[in-house]
A and B are shown apart, each in its own frame.
Chain A
Amino acid sequence: MVYIPHTDADREAMLEAIGVKGIDELFDCVPEQFRFPELDLPEPLTEMEAADELSKIADYNLSANLTTTFLGAGAYYHYIPSVVDHILRRGEFYTAYTPYQPEVSQGTLQAIFEYQSMICALTGMEASNASHYDGATSLAEAVIMALNVQRGRRKRIILSPDIHPHYRAVVRTYTQGMGLELIEDPAIADLESLKRALDANTALLAVQTPSFFGQVDDLMGLADEVHSVGALLCVVTNPISLGLFTAPGHLGADIVVGDGQPLGIPLSLGGPYLGFFATRKKYVRKMAGRLVGETVDTSGKRGYVLTLSTREQHIRRQRATSNICTNQGLMMLAAAVYLSTMGKRGLRQVAELCFHKAHYAAAQIDVLKGYSVVQRHERPFFNEFAVQCPRPVTEINEYLLDNWGIIGGYDLGRDYPQRKDQMLIAVTEMNTREEIDILATALAEVEHD
């Protein structure tokens, strides 16, 4: 029996101590007609056989390391320094529970405290929690926090249609019982129209920069307009882009959220990722999720504890700021180790590599017959850009994969009917100039094909 250490002698002695004849007797409380069903599961494999089966299943997938990929749209193929997974594989971290007992959890607690600090530095904010499930649920929690800051008196939430469509879908899921007025009209994508939607009933305006289409908006002045109607401003962002661009916190944002996946977390078909969440200190008591604070022990030694727990479900029950309990502990650790490894200098280098390579790719593609880079209002972009294609994106991607082994970009027409035949192309530090040149050659071929 795998992982169960009992010998026959153990079982006998234990049953005798309990005072029952057999293990079955312990289940007499279960109504007989339900007891011990036959489960239709396959017969067990040994570790050796299971490893073989899993390897074979994995081989039916085309992974990024075996191909060239230009797919992003919310999940990015970045380099993960070796040291990250070596730290993550320490059982002292990954086989521990949430650090409720601080005397035996200082490792996890200090790691969270340092993570909170790095997220504050990156976003230009004053308070970060210990994580949400992913970028989308971080945005949903931002919406709920804004409603709570307004004590439920304001019901309008404005989401820029340039926010990741799946993030907006998650907000719709989360808020379906809350009776909100959720505005995400595709016609009001630019900042001027978004500002016009602000009114005295607005609790939150959320924008994304770099947008889902990769464009970087200048948010200067936006916060003032949002604050003038008494609403909060939430900025959804890509953490790698913050190695290069002005922190949203320095532009007056009240909440900054996003997905920490680019910070040392593998693609893994979309999860587990990391929702980061940062806000102003004045809102910290309305923030959901775990928070670590510094204090001292009885001998005056510095230490860390989970703090402001009275916000949380295990104390506050139905009056809690959120129901969140288990979050993304180990993914938080990955991001902290990644940010320590990259440091100030390395993160800037990664961000610059993404920026330059993406711009090189855009320039190569924009000159191809039938293709044009779509840039609204000539805004700069970061590591992603939309391309108007001469044929349906699915057809082009099929051609790229079958003939060149390239995973092409995301089909924007899936979520934005007005962007039919537009491909969203992501370029990271992992893409070489040669790969970009091959992509351009292949795209030109599709047109001639």
Chain B
Amino acid sequence: MTEPLIYDLGAPGRFAVQMPEPDVPLTEMPALIVRDELNLPEVSEIDIVRHYTRLSSLNHSIDKGFYPLGSCTMKYNPRINEDMARLPGFAGIHPLQDEETIQGALFLTFVLQEWLKEIGGFAGVSLQPAAGAHGEFAGILMMRAYHLDRGDTKRTKILIPDSAHGTNPASTTMSGLEVLEIPSDERGNVDLKSLRAACDDTVVGLMITNPNTLGMFEEQIEEVVGLIQNCGGLVYGDGANMNALLGVARPGDMAFDVMHYNLHKTFGTPHGGGGPGSGPVGVSERLLPFLPGPIVETIQPGDTNDEGDLAETPHHRLVMPEKSIGRMTAFYGHFSIFVRAYTYIRMHGPEGMRRIAEHAVLNANYLQTLVSKIFPIPFGNRACMHEFVAEGKVKGSDVRALDVAKRLMDFGFHPPTNYFPLIVHEALMIEPTETESRQTLDRFAEALAQIAREAVQDPELLHTAPHCTPIARLDEVRAARDLVICSWGQSG
């Protein structure tokens, strides 16, 4: 059954909410600018509840089953975090309230800044950016501002490995800089020879994902960082894969200048069907003055406060870093996501952080071992980190990674990321995360084994998969050609 559109559920004059009558005298409306049409649904509350409940049942979600979507870190989202974010003392505060009335929120924000600094090994953190790509953009703007501030105007290039997420080059373009792509070597690392050839005094810096999108730790990370810094460039770390490094290694210790964290990947905050995320940036000492702001600083007893008096109690205030690249969002970033991440880190502690990374990597290696008996794994001759990339190809069959992905849905699993990274043909990028049990991983590998057998015995079954989902494969070409993007059909 297809779920009707909400516009088709109602009836003229039906409504779901009753607002109070005005308790003040009425003012005459400026008739010229008052509208008379407004095409919104006219439905009752039960229509709404049933409609969205039925829609929700059409989704796969972490709550429903395994979600090994590579690069997305689909780990369990703890329920307690949701309750904490909804406490009225957090949900009901206005961003422009007097700082004295939001000291709890500023304290929490400050502490989270400090914890992220410690976890990443950085000198400073700003929680402004709203998502990973937004953090990348902030990072590149800071790198650009740093060079300009030193009067170094020749630098226009950002070096990016060919295995990088698409957001890396896109963020570079938005910053008004050029992208120079660097190939990978046969072990999945950045190709040092090509990198060396690209390093000169026009380089703003390098964007590197470590572990990279193949799930491999960059074995020559010290040489890579050295080459960039010797030519006067800065190193940007894409923190998308930080789940593998919690308590294991700190990018700041490896002389990275800037990195974004994805709170919605590494720190268990929900993905929300495509956001809201949160993409704080951490920086080394030399980039501190350029951080996006405002950020929170603490005043200790004995420090001078805003009025020039000595402070008696510790308190927190919002400040704009000295040479800040500016605001990334209208206010302070995604505060309710900070509350969730704070709760998560608070319940893990230092040992817990390391346990997360250890089990994420244990799960990935265990699953890689099982999957390597079924599908080729191009860089599988070494231990992976939190994820690995298989090739969705079966000897003696014409099935593709897409077919394997779609067939997995029939077994109740969300497919891995496919066709990324671009440097592996027919890529199936698999990230199990630490919150999955061994039984789940075993069942997933068994499903893949069965699919590989089907690929030879009955390839058509895969070509036409999925068969057990609410809907079959969709005509994407038609969607782009006819472009119906609004309930009243081909508008415009």
Interface size, B (range): 35 or more
Q: How far is the CB of A352 from chain B (nearest CB, A)?
A: 7
Q: Is B64 an interface residue (CB 8 A)?
A: yes
Q: Is B436 an interface residue (CB 8 A)?
A: yes
Residue pair B326, A176 in contact (C-beta under 8 Å)? yes
Q: Is A221 an interface residue (CB 8 A)?
A: no
Residue pair A290, B274 in contact (C-beta under 8 Å)? yes
Q: Which residues of B contact A271 (CB under 8 A)?
A: 95, 130, 276, 329, 331-337
| Given A103-B409, A329-B272, 15 further pairs, Cβ under 8 A | A3-B435, A6-B437, A10-B438, A26-B358, A62-B102, A74-B96, A98-B274, A218-B32, A269-B90, A295-B478, A328-B274, A341-B17, A343-B17, A353-B20, A429-B20
Stretch in contact with the other chain, from B39-47, B195-203, B390-398, B448-456: B39-47
Residue pair B330, A270 in contact (C-beta under 8 Å)? yes
Q: Is B381 an interface residue (CB 8 A)?
A: no
Stretch in contact with the other chain, from B166-174, B226-234, B281-289: B166-174
Q: Mark A90-128, 1 if CB is under 8 A from B, else 0.
A: 111111111101111111101101101110111000111
Residue pair B52, A90 in contact (C-beta under 8 Å)? yes
Residue pair A295, B475 in contact (C-beta under 8 Å)? yes
A–B pairs, 16, beta carbons within 8 Å: A10-B438, A39-B354, A57-B108, A65-B92, A97-B67, A97-B273, A111-B55, A270-B330, A281-B483, A294-B484, A295-B474, A297-B471, A316-B170, A318-B173, A344-B39, A346-B17
Q: Is B217 an interface residue (CB 8 A)?
A: yes
Q: What is the CA–CA distance of A40 and B120 in the complex, to the nearest angstrom?
A: 11
- Which residues A162-188 have CB closer than 8 A to chain B? 164, 166-167, 169-170, 172-174, 176-179
Q: Is A337 an interface residue (CB 8 A)?
A: yes
Residue pair B472, A36 in contact (C-beta under 8 Å)? no
Residue of B nearest to A174 (CB): B174
Q: What is the CA–CA distance of A275 and B334 in the complex, to the nearest angstrom?
A: 13
Q: What is the CA–CA distance of A344 and B25 in the complex, to the nearest angstrom?
A: 23
- Which residues A396-414 have CB closer than 8 A to chain B? 397-398, 401, 407, 410
Q: How far is the CB of A442 from chain B (nearest CB, A)?
A: 16
Residue pair B325, A95 in contact (C-beta under 8 Å)? no
Q: Which residues of B contact A227 (CB under 8 A)?
A: none
**Which residue of A5, A117, A134 contacts B487 across the interface (Cβ within 8 Å)?**
A117
**Which residue of A45, A107, A296, A357 contacts B474 across the interface (Cβ within 8 Å)?**
A296
Residue pair B249, A2 in contact (C-beta under 8 Å)? no
Q: What is the CA–CA distance of A42 and B136 in the complex, to the nearest angstrom?
A: 29
**Which residue of B29, B90, B169, B347 contacts A44 across the interface (Cβ within 8 Å)?**
B347
Q: What is the CA–CA distance of A96 and B97 in the complex, to the nearest angstrom?
A: 34
Q: Which residues of A contact B69 (CB under 8 A)?
A: 97
**Which residue of B22, B420, B437, B486 contacts A117 across the interface (Cβ within 8 Å)?**
B486
Q: Is B461 an interface residue (CB 8 A)?
A: no
Residue pair A331, B351 in contact (C-beta under 8 Å)? no
Q: Is B254 an interface residue (CB 8 A)?
A: yes
Residue of A nearest to B62 (CB): A95
User: A96-B273, A344-B39 are contacts. A320–B141 as well, Cβ < 8 Å?
Assistant: no
Stretch in contact with the other chain, from A12-20, A189-197, A368-376: A12-20
- Which residues A426-449 have CB closer than 8 A to chain B? 429, 432-433, 436
Residue pair B166, A315 in contact (C-beta under 8 Å)? yes
User: A29-B217, A101-B414, A347-B38 are contacts. A298–B464 as well, Cβ < 8 Å?
Assistant: yes
Residue pair B249, A38 in contact (C-beta under 8 Å)? no
Residue pair A93, B485 in contact (C-beta under 8 Å)? no
Q: 10 tightest CB-CB pairs across the interface, nearest first?
A: A270-B331, A177-B176, A58-B89, A60-B104, A270-B95, A63-B92, A44-B349, A91-B63, A330-B272, A329-B274
**Which residue of B216, B217, B366, B473 contacts A103 across the interface (Cβ within 8 Å)?**
B473
Interface size, A (range): 35 or more
Q: Which residues of A contact B274 (CB under 8 A)?
A: 97-99, 108, 130, 290, 326-329
Q: Which residues of A contact B476 (CB under 8 A)?
A: 295, 305, 307
Q: Is A144 an interface residue (CB 8 A)?
A: yes
Q: Which residues of A contact B121 (CB under 8 A)?
A: 37
Q: Mark A254-278, 1 if CB is under 8 A from B, else 0.
A: 0000010000001111111100000
Residue pair B359, A317 in contact (C-beta under 8 Å)? no
Q: Is B103 an interface residue (CB 8 A)?
A: yes
Q: Is B3 an interface residue (CB 8 A)?
A: yes
Residue pair A4, B434 in contact (C-beta under 8 Å)? yes
Residue pair B349, A54 in contact (C-beta under 8 Å)? no
Q: Which residues of B contact A432 (CB under 8 A)?
A: 23
Q: Which residues of A contact B347 (CB under 8 A)?
A: 2, 44-47, 50
Residue pair A326, B108 in contact (C-beta under 8 Å)? no
Residue pair B22, A353 in contact (C-beta under 8 Å)? yes
**Which residue of A26, A297, A343 contacts B15 across the interface (Cβ within 8 Å)?**
A343
Residue pair A110, B3 in contact (C-beta under 8 Å)? yes
Q: How far is the CB of B314 from chain A (nearest CB, A)?
A: 12
Q: Which residues of A contact B383 (CB under 8 A)?
A: 18, 20, 25-26, 28-29
Residue pair A93, B24 in contact (C-beta under 8 Å)? no
Q: What is the CA–CA distance of A200 and B350 in the complex, to the nearest angstrom?
A: 59
Q: What is the CA–CA distance of A346 and B42 in the complex, to the nearest angstrom?
A: 10
Residue pair B358, A17 in contact (C-beta under 8 Å)? no
**Which residue of B55, B107, B436 contacts A5 across the interface (Cβ within 8 Å)?**
B436
